């Protein structure tokens, strides 16, 4: 039987390797646990519960992801716009299977998602789709690569695609000059942007080894 045509994957991305995957998961859990104990956070817990005075257990609220990655292109088995072009891109082919370091510069939490913001190097940006930001209403002015992130957890019924949208939403508020309430933490400075949106800018970025590859499920 002849070899079948190579199928386009569900998505491409950098897949965190071991032990970086565990390191990032632990840091995220520590952050979420600490956030939950802060008075500044408790004051706004109604953003999560919908009820004033009611406290939220963030560890219960979110379901953590087991294996972490930073999606570059969501191809949807070839059905997404630009999927074929991305698969045939020489930079993509050349880098397939290569290992590089992802730099995680912030953690963010919303009532829907928990994520880590990734700062891409020039070389990594070559693998970033041109329309990743411009295809999202409200994010058009943000720099190429702004959406880069690792989804760490989602609330019940929330799809992972939401994490990047939540990140862009916070970045758009930052760009408009909204500097929320600030809380200094050991890990960095934490800002509140209203409606349950929190971002911790890490004092020391977290470095994570990751392999550029694709996934079919
Ligand atoms: P994520 O990158 O925020 O984690 C498989 O569903 C992966 O592709 C998930 O990791 C998911 O979100 C990402 N994904 C799903 N739909 C997407 C879309 N429309 N645009 C970009 N990424 C998407």
Span from the CA of 161 to the centroid of ligand 1 (angstroms): 4
pLDDT in tens, 19-70: 999 999 999 999 999 999 999 999 999 999 988 778 899 999 999 999 999 9
Q: By CB neighbour count within 10 A (0-12 exposed, 13-18 middle, 19+ buried), where does 42 fall?
A: middle
74 pocket-lining for ligand 1 (C-beta < 6 Å): yes
- Ligand 1 atom at minimal distance to the Cα of residue 70: 2
Span from the CA of 184 to the centroid of ligand 1 (angstroms): 32
Query: Strands 69-74, 11-16: parallel, antiparallel or unpaired by DSSP?
Result: antiparallel
Annotation marks residue 149 as catalytic: yes
Residue nearest to atom 8 of ligand 1 (CA): 74
Q: Identify the pLDDT of residue 3.
A: 65
Residue nearest to atom 14 of ligand 1 (CA): 161
Predicted TM-score (pTM) of the model is: 0.96
């Amino acid at each position: 039987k002849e070899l079948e045509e190579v199928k386009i994957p569900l998505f491409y991305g950098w897949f965190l390797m071991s032990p970086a995957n565990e390191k990032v998961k632990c840091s995220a859990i520590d952050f979420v646990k600490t956030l939950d104990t802060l008075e500044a956070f408790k004051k706004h817990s109604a953003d999560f519960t919908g009820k004033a005075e009611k406290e939220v257990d963030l560890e219960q609220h979110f379901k953590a992801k087991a294996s972490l990655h930073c999606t570059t292109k969501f191809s949807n088995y070839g059905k997404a716009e630009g999927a074929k072009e991305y698969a045939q891109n020489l930079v993509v082919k050349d880098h397939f299977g290569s290992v590089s370091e992802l730099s995680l510069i912030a953690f963010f939490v919303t009532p829907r998602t928990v994520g880590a913001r990734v700062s891409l190097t020039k070389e990594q940006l070559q693998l970033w789709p041109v329309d990743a930001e411009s295809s999202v209403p409200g994010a058009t002015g943000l720099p190429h690569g702004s959406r880069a992130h690792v989804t760490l957890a989602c609330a019940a019924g929330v799809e992972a695609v939401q994490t990047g949208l939540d990140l862009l939403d916070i970045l758009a508020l930052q760009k408009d000059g909204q500097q929320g309430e600030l809380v200094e933490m050991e890990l960095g400075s934490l800002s509140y942007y209203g409606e349950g949106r929190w971002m911790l800018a890490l004092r020391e970025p977290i470095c994570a080894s990751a392999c550029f590859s694709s996934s079919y499920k």
